[in-house]
Amino acid sequence: MKKRTALVFHSQKVLPFCRTILKVTGTFFTTLILTIPFPQNAKAETWSCKYQFAGKTEKFITYRQGKIFNSPDTGIYQIIDENNRKIHLYYSYMPDMENYYAVSYDKDKKIFSMVALSPGNDSEIISGPCKVSD
């Protein structure tokens, strides 16, 4: 009988402590889950496009990183504007900023167009089909 009494007495002291631990860890994980920052655009699509230039097939690849697009070949493209049909990007080589590169993606047709603007020396417009993957 003494062992049972000791076990009941001991469990009455330990149970509130265990409840407190469970409550604190539950609150912590709930808070953690609710405060994880979700990106505004949770899309992570990659645009892999082809175009013809000087008789050769070339590629232009960018992938979304939050509020920018990154190209492994040229660098970071800023999103100027985006809606449910189009994405408009801007890029300029630093520090001289000789050219302004404008890129337009058509989400419905899965095509792109790009031009380098430099007053008096603009490039030809390149365009072509794209594969878009998430």
Backbone angles phi, psi at 5, to 5 degrees: -60, -40
Please identify which residue in the block is written with the tokens 């899309």.
Answer: 43
For 84-122, the pLDDT digits (tens) are 999 999 998 766 778 899 999 999 999 999 999 998 999
What secondary structure letter does DSSP report for 37? Answer: P
- Asked whether the beta carbons of 50 and 57 are under 8 A apart, the reply is yes
Contact 48, 129 (CB under 8 A): no
Q: Taking a C-beta distance cutoff of 8 angstroms, is the pair 103, 86 a contact?
A: no
Q: Does residue 83 sit in helix, strand or coil?
A: coil
User: Taking the model in full, what pTM does it have?
Assistant: 0.65
pLDDT tens, 41-71? Answer: 445 799 999 999 999 999 999 999 999 999 9
